Amino acid sequence: MSRELMPAWNSWQRRRLWHKDQASHGPRVGTTHVKSGSMSLQNLEAKFPLDDLPLAEERARKIGYERRAILNQRDTFFVVPNGKLKLREENDRAKLIFYAREESGPLALSSYDLVTVAEPEATRAMLSAALGVLALVNKVRILMKRDTIRLHLDRVEGLGTFGEVEAVIATGDDPKNSRGAVDEVLRTLEVDRRGLIDVSYFELLLAR
């Protein structure tokens, strides 16, 4: 890890440990939605390394997934006391995303809030000054979709190529109902479950 990133990484680790300690004394973050005026959602997700994105896309098409978009994404993560807060700039739009993840291993349940951002540059500058920047992640994402299941084929700057499958959970639905669809993608792409990744891209970058 570079010397410049060490203070932010250490600060984030301390806050993460504090948050885990607090969570151990009450309901775990990630099992309920954050209450706000923004759009609140939940998903079940799995992330994994992929050596061959074209092959993965070909296999996914065979089980009904279709390419919906190619997204150039820039994610700026900010230092916050709990959860994760990022500004995502994506092609010609931007959104602020706050999310928290159940500490349940590689196949995890996340709750997140989305707010559309009209002025991303000004928002990034304001949040950087107020909170501090934890990490920056640049990637090109091929978005594939079937029903409510999203498959991301990612090329992440400084890390390599990865896949990520997300099942959007309807309000009131049991996340276990989406487990089969996630498992189907993993089988189709011949993903070794022992290689599933239980951290974010920015955490992989900071750990380098």
> What average pLDDT is seen over the chain?
83
What integer is the mean pLDDT of 17-43? 45
**28 C-beta neighbours (distance < 10 Å), count:** 16
All structural domains of the chain with their residue ranges: 3-206
Degrees to nearest 5, angle at CA 117 with 113 and 120: 125
pLDDT at 30 over 50: no
- What's the DSSP call for residue 197? B
Residue corresponding to tokens 């009209």? 118
Tell me the C-alpha distance between 8 and 15, whole Å.
11
- Decide if 137 contacts 164 (C-beta within 8 A): no
- Domain 3-206, CATH class in plain words: mainly beta
- What's the DSSP call for residue 57? H
* Residue with more model confidence, 27 or 4: 4
Residue 182, φ and ψ in degrees, nearest 5 = -65, -45
Structure tokens at 86: 């990022």
- For the stretch 113-162, pLDDT in tens is 899 999 999 999 999 999 999 999 999 999 999 998 999 999 999 999 99
